[in-house]
Each structure stands twice: as structure tokens, then as C-alpha cells.
Amino acid sequence: MDLTHGERLWWLAALPVLWLLARPLRPKAIVATPYLALWKRAQERLGRRPLRVRWWRLLLLAAAFASAALAFAGARAGHRGGPTALAVLLDDSASMAARVRPGAASAFEQAKAALSELLARLPPEVAVTVATLSGRTWSLLPGERRELARFEEFAPAVGATARGLDALAARVATPECATWVLTDALVPVAAPAAGALSLFGAPCDNLAITAAHVVDAWPLPEVRVEIEVQNASRRSVVATLAAIGGATGATVDLEVAAGASRTTTLVLRRTTGGRIRVALSAGGDALASDDAIELVVPGPAATDLAVLVDQDDNPALRAAAQALAAECGGHVVAAGASERAGMLLVDGGALAPAVLGPRRITFGTRFSSAALQPGALLARPTLVDWDRGSPLLAGLDLSELQVTRALGGDFGGPGQVLVRGADGPLAVVREWPDGRSVHFAFSLTESNLALLPAFPSLLRRAYAACYRDQAIASILPGVILDAAESDLRTRPAGLVERPLPEFGSPGTSLVVPLLLAALALLVARIYS
Amino acid sequence: MEALFPPPFLHLLREVLECTPRIRGGLEQRTRARQRMRAASGTFVGHRAYEPGDDLRLVDWNAYARSGEVLTKLLEDDAPRSLTIVLDRSASMAVGDPERRGGALRYCAILGSLALARLDAVHLVLAGDDQRAFQGLAQRSELLLALEGLAPREVAPVELARAVLERDKAASLCWISDFTEPESYSVPLRMLARHGRACLCLLPLLRLDVAPDEDGWVELHDPETGERQRIAVDAALRRALADELAVLERRRDAAVAGAGAQLLRVQVPEARDFRLLSWWPGSLRSWI
């Protein structure tokens, strides 16, 4: 028998108080007499019993009090020391999905099976918490059924790594809580030094995409994907990179030396855009989750460009539109169908404010139907500077820009200044909820902008900027593993499995029996 | 602690001697008085220093001539007139207020002083191995000192009776005790009676011998057995105890009378009461 609150046994120190309370009162006088026998006989004649401490009753009271004190101290039988809780740290990093050979169970599947088997034979008093490195948790209170725990919903998380596993295990481990780490320990990180450890899987060869970078030439159809391939094996491997999805492109074969990395570029041509899966294929690869990446590329640019010019003898904008349409794979539509065109290019003239919106590139266009006021035109405005940090103008040289006449800076609303003149902005880009519009204060006929070498790039960038985020290619997050996570070649030397400790048992509480015993003793005292 | 024999008591002793010119033992032993005269020239057993009051006829003048020191001859009488006092020193005597033991010693001093003044000697029988003899009035102070120095001691009554019979077979006999267990005195008193020793049993009487005055929650202590008992005393219990004490008195009377002795109850006066009438009551005076 042991006690859960041993310090409460100090209440037993109150037993002498019981003895003091059970003693008769202090007499008011002590009288010496030779006739004590006569006193006793006189008492007997009167049917009186001498007052004295009845040790039997005092013993019963003391036993009842001791029983109550033991119950208060939480007496229990069959208690066995040891942890009463189990924290299972299940490594669900991507490397746990590796299979030593095709068709074999992965390390994660083996770990789940071992966990289910342990839960089936674990004492029911042990509370269990399963936590994965990706943040999943699963708890089981004492006494709950656990035979059916199969952890079907648990799977290796692509983005999870085994880093910090040792620190987490050390933080969780306490004398009351045993820690059990289930891992493959193939990643070159510190293995947990605390708690039990079970190792699954085995070192194996793996080929992985460890880095990727996409360069999208939108609105051009070309998409270039730079891919780094790591060969974490003991032999040279010839792998094939191929794209599947909204682009077409040549398949690339590359040979990667043992233990080395190699970077190659996959040139794709956009068809429909959207998700493009670039997969790496090679024989003898243990881990499939690091063999592919997914890109999201914008679809091809709008196929119809409308051009409005106020002077028919202005070929510059039409030529630029034709060139742009040719690059994007589209075509120039008639001006009368401008409302249905994906992009509107305007040079000079005036537009109603209602026509203003995203995907508009205007050159010297007024946004008012009122007559042009005298003085609204600036003659030979002085170019002060242009925004070199803007994606539209980065790397472009506008120093040769000459403007003979420009409007007075009315762009139909505020916008980010691209080109600044001495008398006000000469070009701005405006933000709309679903795109942008770019406006120049001067027309192509009254400036030499169309003649500058930077004009095609400027027009192409303005075209892309009008589509804003829809024109940004990206790699889906989380699809590329940590390079260390893909290296499955070695396991730390000297790392051995450690068994689980013997679990403790709370035993059977003796509180109720002791209280009943105390009650019985008190009853016996009453009738004694 | 108050002295056992304070000056008022010594004064009382002188008063007792003055008012008692003769005692019963003197009359009964008149014939032996003549023998005492012969004994004045009897067997010489030794010397002791002269003390005022000694018979000048007993002064050893020859020794005085030789040494210049006045010595009194000690002559042994075969049958001196004496009083034998048997004193109970048991622990049960140390009860009461005033204490029965103190009263018993004072009565012993009174009787012993009378015997020293009117008879030849006093024998104090304290135990079988503790008997003391005093001769002459001059040894009254030794008697008082001896009484003051007595310590409690449990001695069986039969042993005391045997000591009396071995010591003196003719002297008057007074047994001072509380006679708490009267039946234990029957045998020794009968032994004395068979040897012709008339015995006066003197019981120094206390209030607790008649009616208890305890009240409330008290602890009773038997000094002889050491037993203690806590008792709630009320009027009913006091009445019941008074009945028991009355029965005890009858047992005392029966035990003493059955042995042909006489039981004399003398009340122990209060602590500061040294009046002659208190310590020298008529009952005791008549016996003397």
C-alpha cells in the first residue's frame, strides 16, 4: 500500500490530541485517604462506575481516526511506479514515405502498424497522445477503447521535416510521461536522446528535385523552368524530366553523378496554361514525393487587341499592336468591336469616362467629351525622370524621349507615376480591381516614343501589367522537399532502438474501504 | 513546614505533666516501685553523662573523683516500670488535615513524657528491628527528637506484637494506629492478650474518619497502595461513604474488643490548637 498524498499523514500527529481529549477532567483537588476501598464500595452501592480512560474505546477512536487519515492521504493498493502517460512523436516527414523496394511497406506504414499494436496491448490507465511533426495530434484518455486505432488519416506530410525532433522529445519527456519516437532517422539531423526510440525503413537510393525556378515570358508562350536534380545514391543515374499539363515541351534526359546535383532548364510552350506537372523519372527511386513539382502558369494572352487612333496616318500603334498580337498568338480586331476586345490600345482622341477600366493602354487620350480648353496642352514638356524601380520601366532607357505636345496630366484619376515631367506626370499606371491600365499624356505621333528601342519592351510589359496577377507564373508551395529530407543514404552511426519503459499503474484506491472501516470502528465504539 | 513539636506544644507538655501527678501504670506497679528502690543499687551496666534531674544517688562519685566528670550510673532493673508505645508508621497515617501521623506522634510524645516523668522508662516499638528505650525525664528531649526523626515504614501488626512480647512483658502497652484494616489487628492483639498484656488502642481521629467533606470532581489517593481514583463526589456519595465509615468503626470496635483490648478514639486537634483540653481529653486522662 502506498499513498498519493503522503504529506497528509501528518494528521496522524493529532492522535495524542485524541488521547488528551479522552482523558477525564483535571480534578479540582487531590485528596489522600486510607479509605479508597470504601469510596469504591460506596460508588458500587450507588451503581456508579469509576470514571477512567477506557482504553478500548480510545483505541477504537484512534483506529477510526487513523483510517480516516489514511483515506485522506489517498491510500491505494497495487500501485506501481512509472510513467502514466505516453507521448508518441510520429515522424511524418516526407522521407517516411520512402519504400526500400517497390511494393514494400513504407516506413510510415510500418510505424503506424507498430503504434496500433502498442495501443492494443498498452495498460488502459495510460493516457496516450500521438503527435506528428506536421502538427497532427490524436489523444486517448485512460480507459478509452484503442483497439481500433489505425491512424488511417495520418500520412507523411510533404512539407514536414525531422528537424527539431530531438528537442521536442526532450521537452515532452517527464517522469510521468514516457516518450516514444517513431522515425526513420535517415535525415542527417540529431536523433532524440530522450525516451524510447523505434526506427523504421532503411537507407536507400533516391533521386529528387531539390530546387526549381520558373521564368515566364508571358505574354509570350515560352515558359522556362530551371530544375535542380539531386542524386542521393551511390551510382550515376540517367533521369528524364517531362512536363504534363497546360504546356508542351521537349523531354529532357540528364545524367546525374552519384551524390551530386545537376541543374537543367526545361523549355515549355504554353498551350492552355494552368497547372503543369514536371516529373522526374528514374529507376530505383525510393521516394516518389520528391520527384515532381507543379507549376501554375497563366494562360495565353488575350487573342484580340483593338486599336483606336484618331489619325488614320498613324501606323505606329497599329504596327505595335500587330507585333504584340503576333507574339501572343492573337490578332488585331476592328475598332468597332472594341467593347469585346481583351485589350484596347488608344492613340490620341478622347474617350468617355465610362470606357475607362482595366486593360487599357492610351497615348495622349483625353477622358472627357468636353472641348479642349486653351492651355490644356503643354508644348514640349520637359522630361524630368522615369521610375526605374517600376517593373514596367526597369532596365529601359527613356532618356531619348522627346515629346512635342502633351496633355495637362488628366488621366481620369490618380495613378502611379511612371514618367515625370517638369509640369506634371507624363505617364501613369492605374489600379483597377481586376487589372491595370497604363496612360501616357502624349500620343505616339507627337513624340518619338514609338521610335525608341525600349518601346516594344515597354508595350509588352504594359500589356502584361494590365493583366496583373493573372500573368505571374509560380511553383506550388510545399512541393519541393528539403534537400536533406531527400537524402536517404545514411543513418547516424551508433543509433539503436530504445524500448519503452515499464508503465506505472495507479492501483486500487482504498479511500472508500478506509472510510467505511472508520465508520464501522465508530459504530463499534458507540456500542462498546 | 511546621515543626512537629513547636514551643506551644512543649508548653502543653509541661501543662500535662503538671495536671497529671500520677498515672495508671504507677498505681498498678506500686509493688514494683519498691523493687525500683532496690534496683537503685542493682546491676551496674554503664555510665552516661549527668543531666539535670537525674537522681543524685545514681551519680558515680568515684568516677567523678577520678576524672572530674559527673557521670550517672546506669543500673539495669529486671522489671522497671515503663510504658510501651507501639507506633504505626505506615503510609496510611499520612492523611488528613491536620495529618493523622502528626497527631499520633504528638500523642506519643504526651504519653511518653508522662511515662518518663511518672514511671521509669518508655519503650518505643517501631518495628521488629527498631525499638528504642528512654529513661528518666531528662531524656524527654531525646524522645521528642526520636519522634521527629521517624520516617514512614510499613510494618505488619503481627511483627510489632512479637517485638512487644520480646521486649517487655510487664509494661503498660499503648498501640497508636489508624486501624484501617481492623481484622489485621485481631491476631496481634489476641497474642498480646494471651500474654496478659492489656493494650490500649489509640486511634487519632480525623474528620475523614467520620464524614467526608470532599465535593465535586476530586482525585483520591491511597498513600499506602499508591492507587489513584477520580471520583465525582456529591451528597449521595458522601452519605454512602458515611455509611461505609460507620461499618468500619463497628469492625474496629469488634476487632479490638474481641482481643480484650480497649479502643480509644481521640480527636486530633487543629493545627494551631495547643489547648490542654484539646490534647488531653477526659477519655485519655481517665485511662491514664
DSSP labels, B121-162:
EEEEEEETTEEEEEESGGGHHHHHHHHHT-------HHHHHH
pLDDT at B41 over 80: no
The region, left, alpha or beta by phi > 0 then psi within -120 to 50, assigned to residue A395 is left
Q: Does B226 touch chain A (CB under 8 A)?
A: no
Helices B235-258 and A36-45, packing angle to 10 deg:
120
Contacts of A30 in chain B (CB under 8 A): 218-219, 221
User: Do B214 and A29 count as a contact with CB atoms less than 8 A apart?
Assistant: yes
Closest CA to A499 of A132, A282, A154, A195: A195
Smallest Cβ–Cβ distance between A50 and the set B208, B229, B236 belongs to B229
Instruction: Give the up-direction half-sphere exposure of residue A521: CA atoms within 13 A in the CB hemisphere.
Output: 19
What pLDDT score does A161 carry? 67
Q: How many CB pairs under 8 A join A and B?
A: 86
**Cβ burial, residue B92 (10 Å; 0-12/13-18/19+):** buried
CA distance B184 to B251: 11
User: Which parts of chain A sit beneath pLDDT 70?
Assistant: 52, 143-150, 158-163, 187-190, 302-303, 312-313, 335-340, 468-471, 478
The per-residue pLDDT for A145 is 60
When pLDDT is cut at 50, 70 and 90, the band that residue B37 belongs to is very low
Contact yes or no for B180 and A34 at CB 8 A? yes
| Chain B interface includes A234 (CB < 8 A) | no
**pLDDT over threshold 80, residue B45:** no
Helices (H), A314-415: 315-328
Residue A24: its chain B contacts at CB < 8 A? 217, 230
Give contacts of A 3-32 with B, CB under 8 A. 24-25, 27-32
pLDDT digit string, tens, across residues A299-319:
777 667 888 887 766 788 888
Percent of chain A with pLDDT over 70: 92
Report the pLDDT value the prediction gives residue B24, as an integer from 0 to 100: 60
Q: Is the pLDDT of residue B35 over 50?
A: no
What is the rounded distance in angstroms from the CA atom of residue B160 to the CA atom of residue B177?
12
**B 227-286: CB under 8 A from A:** 227, 229-232, 236-237, 240-241, 243-245, 248
> What was the pLDDT predicted at B250?
95
Residue A150: per-residue pLDDT: 63
Q: What's chain B's average pLDDT?
A: 86
pLDDT bin (cut points 50, 70, 90) of residue B34 is very low
Per CB-CB distance under 8 Å, the chain B contacts of A51 are 230-232
A36 vs B: CB within 8 A: yes
Average pLDDT over residues B193-213: 89
B191 in helix, strand or coil? helix
Q: Is the peptide bond before B204 cis (omega within 30 degrees of 0)?
A: no
Quick check: B129 contacting A, CB < 8 Å?
no
Looking at per-residue pLDDT, the higher value among B161 and A134 belongs to B161
For residue A302, the model assigns a pLDDT of 64
Residue A190: count other Cβ atoms within 10 Å of its Cβ: 14
Q: How far apart are CA A43 and CA B169, in angstroms?
A: 45
The verdict on a CB contact (< 8 Å) between B222 and A36 is yes
Across the interface, of B180, B232, B245, the residue whose CB is closest to A51 is B232
B179, pLDDT greater than 60: yes
Q: At B51, is the pLDDT very low, low, confident or very high (cuts 50, 70, 90)?
A: confident
Query: Is B44's pLDDT higher than 90?
Result: no
